[in-house]
Amino acid sequence: MLTGATGLLGRNVLFEIIKQHFDDLTGIKIFLLGRSTKENDLSTRIFDIIENDGLDYLNIDKNGYNDLRNTLYSVIHCINFELEGNNDLLSPADENLLKNHHVDYFFHIASHTDFRSSEIVKKKLWSVNVDGTIRILQLAQKIKVNHFIYTGSAYACGETSGTVAPDYINFNQKFRNPYELSKLEAEVSVRKFSEQNPWMKTKFFRPSTICGRLIEQKIGAISKFDVFYAWMFFFLRCKERMFKENDLNKTSFMECRATYSLNSGLNIVPVDYAAKTMYRLTINNTSDNSFHLVNRSETKHDFYLPAMTKAINMEGLQQVNHQPINDLNELEAMYYKTVGAIFTPYITSAPIYFTRPDVDGELECPEVDGENFYKLLKYALDNRAK
């Protein structure tokens, strides 16, 4: 059972589960918890995602999808579930269905991601990430789940630096934003629940900055352009607005002093590697229960930030060690009010070394530098209209 299957990591975990059971799909049952929208019910959303994104991951063409679709309709059962609210967890029929099937693995992946700090954002973060996780735990307890898998965030470590373990918890420190704190609060709730209910085996995963796929097709595939992608698209939108054109091949000079560290970087992990690692460490009987989903090393800011401006043919970005206060031009003023306000705390931090789990040696994490990073950018720019 999964929450968050319509999101980036959740859909890739779903694809990996299907891939691992491809020769015996009728031997499993997959329950997906989520919301319908005004346009489509949850089942329609899920099967659209499988057809438009999952077939590449599974290496199946659309002609070969007909038989698989029919099988998946019998394997996947979608259940409407609200992380927010005080309504009943499930209908009696859905609750009995889950009890009768004895859920082995429950992946709680859904969360609200917003790095802003307004009171409205804080309320939403706590409602979904903290209170929503408690609702999920109540459900897991009610239907007697065997294994509960919680997805947190590597950045729940806050503004610490140096070597960080995957079970590091310290509330007495600064956090870059309320999102980080909400993820730590939620994780602690799960850890307390696990201690009080030892019959349910629990594992914790903390992914770092997630990027597009670099193992499965389509290379670079991603469902939303946030985190560092949002940084690039900010400047692309400014370029289009300032110069009244959207020709990526035309070079534009846009002076902007951006504050970032030359000594550190961002830990960027491909989403398919994260999904595969999460699945393997869940299925395997490991003695540890806490893991980072991270790359071996950071991708340096002084590589990937200039690489993104180069990809959109922008000149004029200047690295500075301290945020300029006076004499900001129009672009800089907009930058530090918006995307710069969100990402400057991350791109000025000291290096963080997230400890990594031992995974099957055949599964190597692709490095996010050089050629691979440009593959990510190419997919983003080729698909930016979506």
Which pLDDT tens digit goes with each residue over 226-236? 999 999 999 99
Predicted TM-score (pTM) of the model is 0.97
Of 179, 180, 184, whose CA–CA distance to 118 is shortest? 179
Do 238 and 148 belong to one domain? no
In this prediction, residues 5-13 reach a mean pLDDT of: 98
80 is a domain residue: yes
362 is a domain residue: no
Do 130 and 235 belong to one domain? no
Tally of domains within the chain: 2
* Per-residue pLDDT reduced to its tens digit, 50-64: 999 999 999 999 888
Do 308 and 285 belong to one domain? no
In this prediction, residues 330-340 reach a mean pLDDT of: 97
In this prediction, residues 66-75 reach a mean pLDDT of: 93
Do 197 and 261 belong to one domain? no
Q: How confident is the model at residue 86 (pLDDT cuts 50, 70, 90)?
A: confident
In this prediction, residues 145-170 reach a mean pLDDT of: 97
State residue 102's pLDDT score.
Answer: 93
Do 186 and 48 belong to one domain? yes
Q: Show which of 278, 293, 308 is a domain's final residue.
A: 293
List the domain range (segments joined by +) for residue 135: 2-213+268-293
Do 249 and 377 belong to one domain? yes
State residue 361's pLDDT score.
Answer: 67
Do 255 and 131 belong to one domain? no
Count helices and strands (H / E) in the chain: 14, 15
* Per-residue pLDDT reduced to its tens digit, 296-323: 999 999 999 999 999 999 999 999 999 9
For the record, the structure tokens of 229 come out as 């992608």
357 is a domain residue: no
Please state, for a pLDDT cut of 90, what percent of the chain lies above it: 90
State residue 158's pLDDT score.
Answer: 97
Q: How far is residue 202's CA from residue 259's CA, in Å, rounded to a whole number?
A: 40
3-state secondary structure (DSSP) of residue 92: helix
220 is a domain residue: no
191 is a domain residue: yes
Q: How confident is the model at residue 87 (pLDDT cuts 50, 70, 90)?
A: confident
Do 168 and 237 belong to one domain? no
Give kind and range of the element (H or E) at residue 320: strand 314-320
State residue 357's pLDDT score.
Answer: 87
State residue 360's pLDDT score.
Answer: 62
State residue 63's pLDDT score.
Answer: 85
State residue 283's pLDDT score.
Answer: 94
Do 179 and 310 belong to one domain? no
State residue 385's pLDDT score.
Answer: 72
356 is a domain residue: no
Do 140 and 236 belong to one domain? no
* Per-residue pLDDT reduced to its tens digit, 181-232: 999 999 999 999 999 999 999 999 999 999 999 999 999 999 999 999 999 9
Helix ranges, 63-177 (H): 65-75, 92-101, 119-125, 132-142
Do 181 and 260 belong to one domain? no
Please state, for a pLDDT cut of 70, what percent of the chain lies above it: 99
Written as one letter, the residue type at 170 is: N
State residue 342's pLDDT score.
Answer: 96
223 is a domain residue: no
360 is a domain residue: no
Q: How far is residue 201's CA from residue 147's CA, in Å, rounded to a whole number?
A: 5
Note whether 98 and 143 are within 8 A (CB).
Answer: yes
Domain of 186: which CATH number?
A: 3.40.50.720
What pairing do the DSSP bridges indicate for beta strands 314-320 and 252-259? parallel
Distances (CA, A) of 225 to 147, 215, 315, 347: 32, 19, 22, 18
State residue 172's pLDDT score.
Answer: 96
b (16+ CB within 10 A) / e for 61-100: eeeebeebeeebeebbbbbebebeeeeebbeeebbebbee
Do 328 and 254 belong to one domain? yes
